[in-house]
């Protein structure tokens, strides 16, 4: 099946909307949590970490379920249902009077956020294996653009109040639902659909089913370690910038927008040029090496201008997602692409349960100004460096052996 340009744009816009919804809260998170919860910065960091844990826990449970449903029902109905949930959830968050509402809102967003599984499966359905890295690069570019727009909206519209950005996000999600209703075709024909089984529509069942393919589990380990490291950004960046540089919300939003620009350039443009020349496995190794150096440099940055120089070079870690996604999609048969993407979503979600707790606790312990341990806002980035090097070790020692078989 050759997808229409409108359908591809809709898939990319869906990823964009999801990322905007995630990124929109980042610049206003410290002020919103401190206002609603009546707490200080260090405690707000911990609460922010738990909000991310709730979001990830629901994605962990629902990712394989959404993938399995899309293998049975098709990609279109699952994608459209997720978008409808997004629109309702953003409006709910805008009206939140207390922390309990924020937690409920993040839970609903986690369920709807499992949209990545059917969206990536849709791309696998319509793209030859040799072209998937480039297409997944476009997905990463959409994520990058969302990371530009989300924090930018959160930082600028947030000047009107910490709730204002959520009204904007609700309207955007609703418009995208209407757009998708008219332009998105079904990518999975009935003859390629498989029976829905509850025993496989959960994280453990999915991992067991995919364990029959020798490449997948080692690559899942690489993905999990990298994801743990990368959670240092959404969990601590706003708080790190306030503690280290005393940045205002608009400065935090600007820095996150710049990170999104560099990510979009690498994944939307450079990936399609680099990966065909050096291969997915080598691109993955280069991305992880650059990522480790990127985190370490941020940990010790002591001037605001340094952040932009580090982000510019560190953007090459954007090779990681499209390279590993393409490698994994090659390893699973056509009728299990949804299940594979559900497994990937479960890995992302599991690390998003553990990662925010690890990073927020590390940041909080080193910024409480109690004298011991010493004040060091970059401590979480040092932890991210260690986790990245562990991912590289697994790739070199285990995953490459599986790829060679």
Count Cβ atoms below 10 Å from residue 258 Cβ, excluding itself: 18
Range in 41-55, 94-108, 246-260, 382-396 the model is least confident about: 41-55
Residue 270 CA neighbour count, 13 Å, CB half? 16
The HSE-up count of residue 337 (CA atoms within 13 Å, CB side) is 27
User: Contact, 146 vs 17, CB < 8 A?
Assistant: yes
- Token couple for 301: 């940055």
pLDDT of residue 198: 67
Task: Let me know: does 282 contact 326? Beta carbons within 8 Å.
Answer: no
What is the structure's pLDDT at 229?
95
- Is residue 193 in a domain? no
In a domain, 92, yes or no: yes
Non-local CB neighbours of 295 within 8 Å, separated by 6+ positions: 229, 232, 314, 381, 382, 384, 385, 388
Would 296 be classed as within a structural domain? yes
The mean pLDDT value for 282-309 works out to 93
Number of domains in the chain: 1
pLDDT tens for residues 2-59? Answer: 555 557 777 787 777 777 766 776 677 677 777 777 777 767 777 877 887 787 788 7
Residue whose C-alpha is closest to residue 140's, from 35, 274, 330, 240: 274
**How high is the pLDDT of residue 286?**
93
How many angstroms separate the CA atoms of 322 and 13, rounded? 17
Tell me the average pLDDT of the chain. Answer: 79
Residue 175: name the closest of 4, 5, 20 by CA: 20
The segment with the largest mean pLDDT, out of 56-60, 150-154, 344-348, 390-394, is 390-394
What does the angle CA 341 – CA 347 – CA 349 come to, to the nearest 5 degrees? 100
CA distance 188 to 42: 48
The pLDDT of residue 139: 75
Which class for 369: exposed (0-12), middle (13-18), buried (19 or more C-beta within 10 A)? exposed
Reference 283, options 316, 249, 237; nearest CA is: 316
Q: Is residue 189 part of a domain?
A: no
Would the pLDDT of 1 be above 70?
Answer: no
18 found inside a domain: yes
Residue 198 lies in a domain: no
| Spatial contact of 137 and 267, defined as CB atoms under 8 Å apart | yes
Q: What confidence score (pLDDT) does residue 223 get?
A: 92
From CA 207, how far away is CA 193, in angstroms rounded? 19
Give pLDDT, residue 405.
46
- The least confident of 4-8, 101-105, 282-286 is 4-8
Condensed to tens digits (0 to 9), the pLDDT of residues 204-246 reads 677 666 766 777 888 888 999 999 999 898 788 888 998 888 8
Instruction: List, for residues 4-20, the tens digit of each pLDDT value.
Output: 555 777 778 777 777 77
SS (HEC) of 372-383: CCCCCCCHHHHH
Helix or strand run (H / E) with residue 4: none
In a domain, 333, yes or no: yes
| pLDDT for the residue numbered 51 | 80
**Phi and psi (nearest 5°) for 384?**
-65, -35
The CATH number covering residue 325 comes to 1.20.1250.20
* pTM reported for the whole predicted model: 0.69
Q: For residue 59, what are the domain limits?
A: 5-181+203-404
Q: Three-state SS for 213?
A: coil
Asked if pLDDT for residue 382 goes beyond 90, the answer is: yes
- Identify whether 191 is part of a domain: no
Tokens encoding 184:
């998105």
């Amino acid at each position: 099946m050759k997808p229409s340009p409108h359908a591809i744009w809709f898939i990319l816009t869906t990823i964009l909307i999801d990322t905007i919804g995630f990124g929109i809260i980042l610049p206003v998170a410290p002020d919103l949590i401190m206002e609603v919860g009546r707490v200080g910065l260090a405690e707000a960091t911990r609460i922010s970490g738990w909000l991310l844990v709730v979001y990830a826990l629901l994605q962990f449970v629902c990712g394989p379920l959404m993938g399995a449903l899309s293998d049975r029902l098709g990609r279109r109905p699952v994608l459209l249902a997720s978008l409808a949930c997004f629109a309702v959830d953003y409006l709910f968050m805008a009206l939140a009077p207390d922390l309990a509402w924020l937690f409920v809102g993040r839970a609903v967003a986690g369920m709807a956020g499992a949209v990545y599984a059917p969206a990536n499966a849709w791309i696998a359905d319509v793209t030859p294996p040799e072209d998937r890295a480039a297409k997944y690069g476009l997905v990463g570019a959409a994520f990058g653009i969302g990371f530009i727009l989300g924090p930018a909206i959160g930082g600028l519209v947030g000047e009107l109040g910490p709730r204002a950005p959520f009204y904007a996000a609700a309207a955007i999600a609703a418009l995208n639902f209407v757009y998708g209703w008219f332009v998105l075709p079904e990518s999975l024909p009935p003859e390629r659909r498989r029976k829905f089984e509850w025993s496989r529509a959960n994280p453990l069942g999915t991992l067991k089913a995919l364990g029959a393919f020798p490449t997948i589990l080692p690559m899942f380990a690489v993905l999990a370690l990298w994801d743990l490291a990368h959670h240092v950004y959404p969990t601590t960046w706003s708080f790190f910038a306030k503690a280290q540089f005393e940045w205002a919300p608009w400065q935090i939003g600007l820095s996150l927008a710049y990170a999104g620009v560099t990510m979009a350039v690498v994944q939307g443009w450079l990936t399609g040029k680099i990966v065909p020349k050096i291969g997915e496995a080598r691109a993955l190794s280069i991305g992880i090496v650059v990522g480790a150096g990127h985190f370490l440099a941020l940990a010790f940055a002591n001037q605001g201008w340094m952040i932009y120089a580090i982000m510019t070079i560190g953007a090459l870690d954007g090779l990681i997602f499209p390279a590993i996604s393409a490698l994994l999609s090659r390893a699973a048969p056509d009728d299990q692409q949804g299940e594979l993407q559900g497994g990937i979503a479960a890995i992302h979600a599991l690390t998003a349960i553990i990662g925010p707790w690890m990073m927020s606790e590390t940041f909080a312990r080193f910024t409480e100004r109690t004298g011991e341990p010493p004040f060091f806002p970059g401590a979480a980035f040092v932890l991210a460096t260690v986790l990245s090097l562990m991912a590289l070790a697994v790739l070199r020692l285990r995953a490459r052996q599986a790829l060679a078989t």
